[in-house]
Amino acid sequence: MRTFSNFIDGAWVQAEGVIPVDDPSTGEVYGMVPDTPAAGVDAAVAAARRAFDGPWSRLTPAGRADALRRLATALEARFDELVDEMIMDTGATARFCPMLQVGSPLAHLRDFADMAHLLAEPESFPLDTSPSFGQWELHREPVGVVGAFTPYNFPLFMCVWKVAPALLAGNTVVLKPSPLTPVGPEALAQAALDAGLPPGVINVVHGDSVAGQALVSHPGVDLISFTGSTAVGTRVMAAAAATAKEVIMELGGKSPALVLPDADLETTVRGTLFSSMMHAGQACVATTRMLVPDSRYDEFVGLLEERGKVINVAPAADFGADIGPVISAAARERVEKFIASGIEHGARMLVGGSLPAGLPTGGHYVAPTVLVDLDNDNPAAHEEIFGPVLSVIRYSDVDDAVRIANDTPYGLAAAVWGSDLVRARGVARRIRSGLTWVNDAAVADVRRTPLAGRGMSGVGAENGKDGLLAYTKVRSLYTALDNNLDARAYGVVGSEWD
């Protein structure tokens, strides 16, 4: 039985109370994480504040970038071991895990480090309006202590997306990860030790609602960065408002894959099945609503059935697995209820319903499911399921398709598939989404492209220049460069002083 600890002020600390952690492929409990009380969060915030007030925030951006590269090197030294642990921890498949659960976070640490130049020099605006002379400067400064909440689906990946830009900007972090997937956050904390980061720069507190509430309401925390469900995110925003904290929110999605009449059949079907089913559908940007024109509906449904039926469900460690389990028994029950509700509201199950024989009985498996003949008001079509479920909706013309695509409270991601790129790009710009792909899906570039959800999908931006600067505050600094009192507004006040 593995015991996880909190990481506070550069040391491992065990908290009272424990939460069991299981292997999603088998349902067997393999570890325990602390259920941290408010006092443990207080200690972590105090450590982060001391580190912020110390030398960390005064390091140059280049110096902090070097620390991120050392973090990446320390993690990379454990690559194979970490892959094996995260297959068990997350249920990500042996083919999927090395790239997205471990390889991409390493690459992204280095990508963020390469953005240090965006913080290096202030913007300056010389002012010469005779007879006075001066200069305005805009300085980007760290916010302070960041409280970061990360989800279970991509635990190390999402830790990096928050910790790396926050640290690069000069902040310190208290990280509260999902208790369901503790391996990635623990690995990041160990890497902070191995890389020689000052104590308190990165802190990790495990736990559930008590720890979360303590962190978001803590007066010593200056900014909350949260990734998770819209329902929880809105509660976090409300709690943060009590102490006027800034928030960055990356929330839920119900992203459309809009198929234009001239779309390539094979590419579109494969791309959309991958996007909707990857990591058992547990991705906020998954395109889980496929909008297909009447003129080609039967053709697309036929190939979806053919391709969907050969998606292989197996334990995550099986290299032949296309998808593994969902994260927990509760998640499996939620997905199954959505499927049943979708059928009750008129959907037809094209693919799904049965799992292969021989799966571990305690595992949290859901058969890859394709539902067809839905209206957009079907619960399976308009609510985020977070499981391997694709809903297929027919439309009459492109205006109808755009209307359906935008008929959702979410606006996180979208894909448009079509051979005429000018037309496809034009349609893409009509969809309300922060991230839009044309003829592809699930592509990201953390250095150059921010993710900024619309509507109930988020507040602010992550990644890119916008996402980095979200972890800063701007200081406007004016310096007068002459002593010409006559040019100043206050030079005409109190003339009897002359």
Whether the pLDDT of residue 317 is over 90: the answer is yes
pLDDT value at residue 234: 95
272-304 per-position pLDDT tens digit:
999 999 999 999 999 999 999 999 999 999 999
CA-CA distance, 336 to 242, in Å (whole number)? 37
Identify the residue with better confidence: 136 or 410: 410
Whether the pLDDT of residue 128 is over 60: the answer is yes
Preceding amide of 131 cis, omega within 30 = yes
pLDDT value at residue 190: 98
136-186 per-position pLDDT tens digit:
889 999 999 999 999 999 999 999 999 999 999 999 999 999 999 999 999
Residue 57 gets the label, from left (phi > 0), alpha (psi -120 to 50) or beta, of alpha
What are the phi and psi torsion angles at 101 (to 5°)? -85, -25
Which residues, including other chains, have CB under 8 Å from residue 53's CB and lie 6 or more apart? none
234-274 per-position pLDDT tens digit:
999 999 999 999 999 999 999 999 999 999 999 999 999 99
93 touches 321 (CB < 8 A): yes
Q: Which residues are catalytic?
A: 250, 284
What value does the mean pLDDT of the chain take? Answer: 95
Section 380-400 average pLDDT: 97
51-99 per-position pLDDT tens digit:
999 999 999 999 999 999 999 999 999 999 999 999 999 999 999 999 9
pLDDT value at residue 10: 98
Whether the pLDDT of residue 495 is over 70: the answer is no
Whether the pLDDT of residue 446 is over 90: the answer is no
- For residue 130, what pLDDT band results from cuts at 50, 70 and 90? low
pTM of the model: 0.95
Give CA separation, 107 vs 69, 146, 247, 398, in Å.
10, 23, 26, 38
Q: Which residue segments constitute the domains of the chain, with CATH numbers given?
A: 2-251+457-477 (3.40.605.10), 255-438 (3.40.309.10)
